[in-house]
A and B are shown apart, each in its own frame.
Chain A
Amino acid sequence: MRWNRITTATAVSAAVALSLVACGGSGNGSGGSGGGSGSGDATKAEANAALTKVFNPSDKKGGTLRMAITEKWDSTDPGDTYYGLSWNLVRNYVRPLMVFKSAPGQEGTEVVPDLAEAAGVPSNDAKTWTYKIRKGVKFEDGTEVKAQDVKYAVARSLDKATLPNGPTYFNDFLLDVPKGYSVYKDPTLAGVAKAIETPDDYTIVFHLNKSFSGFDYFAQLPATAPVPKAKDNGSKYQLHPISTGPYKFESHDPNKGLTLIRNDQYDPATDPNSGRKALPDKITVAYNVNGADIDNRLQAGDLDVDIAGTGVQAETQAKLLANPELKAHTDNVPAPRLNFTVFNSEVKPLDNIDCRKAILYAADHEGYQRAYGGPVGGDIATNMMPPLVTGAEKFDTYGFEADKNGNVDKAKEALTACKLPNGFSTNIAYRADRPKEKAVAESLQQSLKRVGINVTPKGFPTGDYTKLYAGKPDYAKANNLGMIVYSWGADWPDGFGFLSQIVDSRTIRATGGNTNLGIRIPEVDQLVDKALVTTDKAEREKIWVDVDKKVMEQAAVLPGIWAKGLLYRPDTLANVYVSDSQNMYDYAGIGVAQK
């Protein structure tokens, strides 16, 4: 009797599960007919249609763009945010000095003047950078933006006790900024007097403590968007950042979501370069929405964009790829992100280059790729810099492409050279709540075993991974973490934005929180210094390629894959495209399909 009841329940469950699948299909069908009525291929749904060109191009304004995310990102305060999606969205409500152009594909990597009239003018060996600010740009209350507002904005972002989330580039590069500087304890801004000058209302000058040729990339950080001192309420500013862009905050609840409406003080005539379209009349973002629910709503046409922009859930991905009609609504977006494994040079025997080479030869690169979902998860990486990074060069020192499953003979030769012909043992660290990284650790465990390298996977919590465990040198060394699975995305797609934080040995801090997990190569540090002072773009890009080559020559990392994400593109969207700087749909250009 008991058995029968269980059987009945199981049968009911199975029937219900089948109906779920069927329902998903039908939901999609109904959503599939609501597209724009334009003509030509640009409006026909097909896979990757928005990757390098505008899909369903439109200039029609109106509608509400509905976005959602599974949790809230760090902050909507432009001076306190470090999320890619946030840097993408923020262009709608504030205007930094420079900005990534809103354009499809490669064109989107161009940094163009926004609040500034033109790109920065370097002097004093690129230690001084001067920007002229446009006249006539207004805050949402009608007050004109002055250079002092930009100075104040950058100065407040230095206060990491009140605004802890943003990058520390200005703290690290601006001249003579006092330790623990807080703009809230320095009302006259005396502490940044040497670092930032405003000789007149429309000129701002930055003084750096070392040469830096790529300062225009710093100038595009949201922290350079002006903040009126009188309206700055510290950690509460995120509730209503004062707008200079085409939209302003109508409401914002950090637990629920935000609504942006048109800013009537925004004048498109003062915004000739950015490519902002400002098509929807309103933009809503809902926080804390269930991930599976987001995917369902996208397919049902009840939601327009998953603002996270990192791709659909794993179970949705399988469903989308299996159904040609659904697949036609996807974009497999490459990102300037490398999923890789770092060798910790402080752990024996990985201080020996030949032992490291043995791992590079023995590793199963297709296995690494499979761990991230196969080709849809990314391409096999042969070196560090992803092809999307401006100036990147692809090279294959160890023949990964020829031996996708590894080369056991060469691995054994390398082991002989490192005087451990029978192999060795080490630990591999990964983030325990990331199944893909666990799969990488297991794949490497399998493939390295073929040559006698015994690897023991060790999982650690994501939140403390770099701060307390794998990224804390004494812990990593004491616990024999010879290999560390990691992933890194560029702050912006150039050599500095991608490589500087993961290869420069001087970024390794004994206190932990490191993003360089064990690369210590003096020549690389010298090359980084050289790149910082090189103002010629082509020459600078070549130096970053040299950095990449040196890291690979020293076998300091095992590159895994250059990541891709699978985005779902509902028919409710118009003028939708992926920009190579944002690596998700460009939120400054996107619109809603008008009926």
Chain B
Amino acid sequence: MFAYLVRRVIGAVVLLFIVTAVTFSIFFLVPKLGGASADDLASRYVGKSAGAEQIHETAVRLGFTDPLYEQYGRFLKGLFVGQEYNYGPATEHCPAPCFGYSFLTQQPVWPDLVDRLPVTASLAFGAAFIWLVTGVGTGIVSALRRGSALDRSLMSVALAGVSLPIFFTGLLSLSIFSYGLGWTAQGGTNPMDAANPAWWAYDLILPWVTLAFLYAAAYARLTRAGMLETMNEDFVRTARAKGLTERTVVMKHGLRSALTPILTIFGLDLGLLLGGAILTETTFSLPGIGQYAVIALRANDLPKVLGVTLVAAFFIVLANLIVDLLYAVVDPRVRIS
């Protein structure tokens, strides 16, 4: 088990390096292949009336005139030992892990990410809890009442959930529940400013439900399909023949087996969301990692893009690792192989 864990952790670290290298290359190599010079790149980070001399100064200041491997090396060094940054009157040390300074706002990236992570985590975990409970619950009920009016209605709602994009359901729910009925917090409310957990939940309930609606729908359909398949298996018939209660048959035998693929998907989904729920955060104007990613991408702000990419990749890798370990716990065959 330990060797398995070590192997996975090393694999994860290598993957993260590859992610940074690829992001770095896309940012610098692609324009370079298109014929853009260091000054061309720098011209994005100057004011609208900047002259050639100023653009070149900016290119030098941002390090674009250095060879690519040096720039990448500097970035990696910053991650482990930090780096020095000149903000005008003096130089300050950006402690490790230093993701660099924004090319545009000239503010360090890491504190921004740390600041925004609680918002994204609040959103992701809250929504995940809701969609897991409602999605899996709906899937079980639908599977057990297969073909009934209830099954059809639930699956129709699920189809709507999968089909409707967040930016539609989000704006709609804001319009109805926030601005219309006044039941929920407005868009743009920062849940981390809430005075107590109740207000925190109040600020987040609408984004949670909206996000969970999308995922719950998919999970309901997935659980239903899994349960239908499992409930027809021989071991379920055997369990029933043994005289077990229907509740035990469903929950202990049927559901446990059907949950394996759900677990895989759940790990990926949660990891992905922790790296930023871009649409939800943008729609509800939540200051999380996803909104930060949009700001960074719009502005071609490489240090921010790298920061978000790395954080997102970290969570996906971490979530996968946890899922894999859980597999090993659930299914002994994984450990052996």
Query: Chain A: residues with CB nearer than 8 A to chain B?
Result: 5-6, 8-9, 12-13, 16-17, 19-20, 23-24, 26-27, 68, 71-72, 74-75, 82, 159-168, 179-180, 182, 184, 232-236, 238, 253-256, 286, 288-290, 292-293, 296-297, 299-300, 302, 463-464, 466-468, 501, 509, 511-513, 515
Contact = CB atoms under 8 A, between A and B. Distances in A.
Contacts of A255: 112, 115-116, 287, 292, 295
B110 to A, nearest CB: 13
Interface string B172-207: 101110011000001110100000000000000000
Which 6 pairs from chain A and chain B are nearest by CB? Answer: A234-B88, A300-B179, A235-B106, A162-B88, A511-B52, A467-B43
Contacts of A236: 87-88, 106-107
A160 B52 contact: no
B171 A292 contact: yes
B300 interface: yes
Nearest to A8: B156
B49 A82 contact: yes
A168 to B, nearest CB: 5
A468 B43 contact: yes
8 contacts: A12-B156, A72-B105, A160-B46, A234-B89, A238-B105, A296-B175, A501-B49, A509-B51
Nearest to B53: A179
Interface string B90-108: 1000000000000011110
A568 to B, nearest CB: 14
Contacts of B39: 511
Contact of B55 (A9, A16, A511): A511
A289 B188 contact: yes
Nearest to B190: A256
A168 B51 contact: yes
Contact of B180 (A6, A9, A26, A289): A26
B50 A302 contact: no
A165 B54 CA distance: 11
Which of A165, A256, A300 gathers the greatest number of chain B CB atoms within 10 Å? Answer: A256
Contact of B179 (A232, A302, A463): A302
A164 B179 contact: no
B54 A164 contact: yes
Contacts of B188: 68, 286, 289-290, 293, 297
B233 interface: no
Contacts of B163: 9, 13
A467 B190 contact: no
A576 B328 CA distance: 66
Nearest to B45: A164
Contacts of B145: none
A182 B282 CA distance: 38
Which of A288, A463, A515 gathers the greatest number of chain B CB atoms within 10 Å? Answer: A288
Contacts of B53: 179-180
Given A168-B49, A255-B115, A256-B190, A513 B175 contact: no
Given A27-B180, A234-B87, A501-B49, A161 B57 contact: yes
Contact of B285 (A184, A254, A290, A509): A290
Given A288-B291, A290-B284, A184 B44 contact: no
B160 interface: yes
B164 interface: yes
Contacts of A513: 43, 46, 48, 50-52, 55
A23 B295 contact: no
A293 B285 contact: yes
A180 B282 CA distance: 39
Given A13-B164, A180-B53, A468-B40, A290 B87 contact: no
A178 B10 CA distance: 53
Contact of A509 (B52, B58, B291): B52
A230 B210 CA distance: 50
Which of A168, A235, A290 gathers the greatest number of chain B CB atoms within 10 Å? Answer: A290
Nearest to B92: A236
B86 to A, nearest CB: 8
B50 A164 contact: yes
Which of A23, A24, A182 gathers the greatest number of chain B CB atoms within 10 Å? Answer: A23
Contact of A293 (B44, B45, B159, B283): B283
Contacts of A16: 164, 172
B298 interface: yes
Do most interface residues of chain B lie in helix, strand or loop, or is the interface mixed? helix
Nearest to A12: B160
A180 B55 CA distance: 11
B155 interface: yes
B36 interface: yes
Given A289-B285, A513-B46, 11 more contacts: A5-B156, A8-B156, A8-B160, A13-B163, A20-B172, A20-B176, A167-B47, A232-B88, A235-B87, A289-B187, A511-B39
B61 interface: yes
Interface string B31-69: 000001001100111111111111101100100000000
A466 B48 CA distance: 9
Contacts of A253: 115
Contacts of B180: 23, 26-27
Given A82-B49, A289-B188, A9 B58 contact: no
Contact of B175 (A20, A182, A234): A20
Contacts of B105: 72, 75, 238, 254
A468 B36 contact: yes
A286 B51 contact: no
Nearest to A471: B43
A552 B137 CA distance: 71
Nearest to B153: A8
A529 B280 CA distance: 54
B44 A467 contact: yes
A293 B176 contact: no
A24 B48 contact: no
B91 to A, nearest CB: 10
Nearest to B171: A292
A309 B271 CA distance: 39
Contacts of A23: 175-176, 179-180
A233 B49 CA distance: 24
B156 to A, nearest CB: 5
A75 B47 CA distance: 11
A10 B70 CA distance: 54
A13 B169 CA distance: 10
Interface string B10-39: 000000000000000000000000001001
A168 B50 contact: yes
Contacts of A168: 47, 49-51, 54
A88 B326 CA distance: 57
Which of B44, B49, B57 gathers the greatest number of chain A CB atoms within 10 Å? Answer: B49
A254 B285 CA distance: 15
B179 A27 contact: yes
Interface in B256-293: 282-285, 287, 291-292
A238 B104 CA distance: 12
B89 A233 contact: yes
A8 B159 CA distance: 9
A289 B285 CA distance: 5
Contacts of B156: 5, 8-9, 12
Nearest to B106: A235
Contacts of B51: 168, 509, 513
A82 B319 CA distance: 44
A379 to B, nearest CB: 26
Given A71-B298, A288-B285, A501-B49, A512 B43 contact: yes
Contacts of A256: 190, 287
B291 to A, nearest CB: 6
A288 B292 CA distance: 9
Given A16-B172, A162-B87, A288-B287, A297 B36 contact: no
B54 to A, nearest CB: 5
A158 B179 CA distance: 46
Given A12-B160, A23-B176, A255-B112, A82 B88 contact: no
A292 B187 CA distance: 10
B323 to A, nearest CB: 31
